[in-house]
Chains A and B, each alone.
Chain A
Amino acid sequence: MTVLGLKETLNLTVFALPQGERQVRGGYAGDLLSWVMGKAEADDAWLTIMSNPNIVAVATLTEVSCIILCEGVSPDAGVAALAAGKEINLLGSDSSVFALAAQITNLL
């Protein structure tokens, strides 16, 4: 499934969607950035409540297909523009991490 397809199906909020055609092949949930760096795989959807600019660098380096801010969290000031500039898809959801992970699992 593409990131755009995920956004449409789960009614996700778009903060930045420069590469909506990217494939989502798995997922990872976590807020500790080094943990995510070590565990997330390329083409994962990364579910987190961390909203600072560093998530963009982590997404770039791990090559996840998108970041999804859960629990209704909004990106910190400037983060959406930063994500767009770095070609990182940044989405949002009011769902809990647990609930959203379950939904995504069923879609993949």
Chain B
Amino acid sequence: MKSYLMLVHSYLKAHSKKTRLAVISVAMSVALVTGMFSMVDVFLRFEKLQVIYTYGNYHLAVKDASDEEASIIRNRIDVRNAGRWKDLGIGQINGADCRLGALDEVFAGNMNIEVLQGNFPREKNEVMLEKWAAERLFQGAETGNLVRIAFEDNTEKKFIVSGIYNDLGKMKAEGVPGVMMSASGTEGITDVRQNLFFVEFKSKVRINRAVAEIKGELDIADDRIGLNTHLLSVIGQSEHKAAVGLYTIGAVLFTLVLIAGVVMIYNTFNISVMERVRQFGLLRCVGASKAQIKRLVRKEGLAIALRAIPPGIALGMLMALVCSAILKFYNNTIFGEIPLFSISIAGILLGIAIGFLTVFMASLVPAKKAAGVSPVNAVSGSNEMKISKTVKKGFLSKLMRLEIAMGMNSAFMKKKTLFLMACSIALSIIMFLGFNVFIDFMHTSLKTTKPNTPDISLVSEKGMGEEIFERLSGLDGVKRIYGRKLAYVNASFDVSRLRETYKKSFGEIKTESNGLFVPPEKSWLISYDENQFRWAKPDLLEGELSAARMNEENGVIAVAQNLRNNITTETVGFKLGDKVYIDTPTGKKELTVMGILRQVPFNSQELTLTAFVVTEKVFSDTMGETGFKVIDIQLKNRKDERTVGILKSMAGDGINLLDVRQKNSEINQLFLTMAVFVYGFVAVIAIISILNIINTMNTSVVSKTRYLGVMRAIGMSGRQLNSMVLTEAATYSVIGSAAGAIIGSLLQKILIMNYLSSFNIKWRFPLFQIAIILVLVSTVTVFSVISPLKRIREKGITEIVNSL
């Protein structure tokens, strides 16, 4: 031993068990901090690519920019790329509907347009077609072919196909292909729906400031400026209210993570150093000065930090790695440029900083305490713990069994330990509940495919008969088919059911002599089959969805939400049992409202008064025999192109085929990218919290080894010992859980009400989450106490009592 500080290493070695617990605790906290921050860092990188893929890689869009404005903006030093996009509305190509547009070639990459074959159109008479359209609509149009294009103003011109570009999911799902013209080709066209000049700034440019500059210099009005808020949000530059709300939530929650990291480490240190006050006293006896003791404790902290930080960092990086791996495995085309081992320097530095800082801080207080121990007390073996100076009266054992009373007593007597233990548990729960806010956000702001989402839809204005249905059912690759009959009908009912806002928008609504009002708009009548009723169950607000009863009693299901001009409203407030009268060729038919649905998963193209869902039988009874307007098809295997080929051959002759698969998978992809990280955050917090509870409980039991030995010598039985220690642990858990649940719920409420109201998210008491937490915490508590206790009980009493 060259220096007294070597004692640290001897001590840590001699008490390998305690050392290991302390190291684990610090490593866990470092892993938590590193993991969470690395995940955010990596998440933003992934999300940026995802947003670029979904919404395009531009920051600013200037409406109707003149060529002069465009050229000034393009030549700014902070602009990386810019290009013009013109939407020329719906046209017809060789007689079929198409969407006409023109995009500058330099900006095609930014908007995810990729030329698969041939060239980007450059000449006046060149166009480029979307791949699926080229295949399907023109029986394999190739570059060099001639096509006729009719514009909205009914002029028609001939064009040469110069190239084929990639499929766009949204266009494919709508069944209207995109046709891209050259910039020069649009010159003569005045009927332009939209003329946008897209701008991509260089990285690290303060975009809002740059946009303000551009607006100022070129005197561009606010309504001509559009920002890609999704992209700005992801790169942290959005000033949009919703984005700022999310930033605030992120800041609050990640501060919480930092605090949790600090408290977890402090807690373990408090337990492990405090119990050794006696050892430090002994050192004082042999002549150690106070300063030396402090240095010793700090050195010990350092030694532990040095051992704990590398594995902590590694574990944290592993968490981010798992998330990247999942996403890269799922879709390597979008995320190809992100390396699998993406390292977040910020996350690692923060982990190291928190590790060292907290260990340093955490050892300050115990070091002071240790230095303050009087050598006399240390030798006499008393005064291992400072407790209140007041005289203690009364004993809980009058109310409950002794071992339980003692367990609670020892928890409550050590106020600081109680506080730290409870804090550590509470913080975990607060974090868990806090991060759950992101799950709510994700589910409401992003849609994902549902069981009722079709892969392919067949749509026909004139209706499809049973024979098509039969043919479809006969196909091998088809999993499920379900059709809908649709009609716009005049429906009337008690006028008092109409909402005031709706009535006002029509001025006055006339009422006939029979008491029914004259409907100002038609209503949408929809037929469902068994499957569709089953899928609608989660949206049922009132009543029931029984096809049999509806058939028997002429039932109808009202739909509460009505999408009007892209705004969800409620036009009618039905009650169960209301009568609805529908005009039919044979007179008025009376139907009874038997249920109310929140919404239907598709929207009418026309404005309607409201929508009603009925069974196919009631539909036919009311409207006579009509075919299906829509037949939705789900495939056994989404990539089964052979079956899709057969379906395509059935299309034509007034039947339109909509391929929704690409759009579905893009929607799912968008959701998945966020879900992986959001659930990742919650999972990391849950795992670290559980390990933290196990570790601190373990530490607290191990630190009481001698005390428990004395209890056994006096005659406490194993069972009593178990329940005493469990009671103490449970006291920490119960107080921590209660505090955590209350504060966590409040935090959720505050975050949601203040920052997420723009997403229509409502706060509900997180009963289910709290139930999970309670089950988890109590199970973990029991398990984390039982095993060290068992080890202690297996040791001989003399071994424990004399070991000091």
Co-complex (A, B)? no
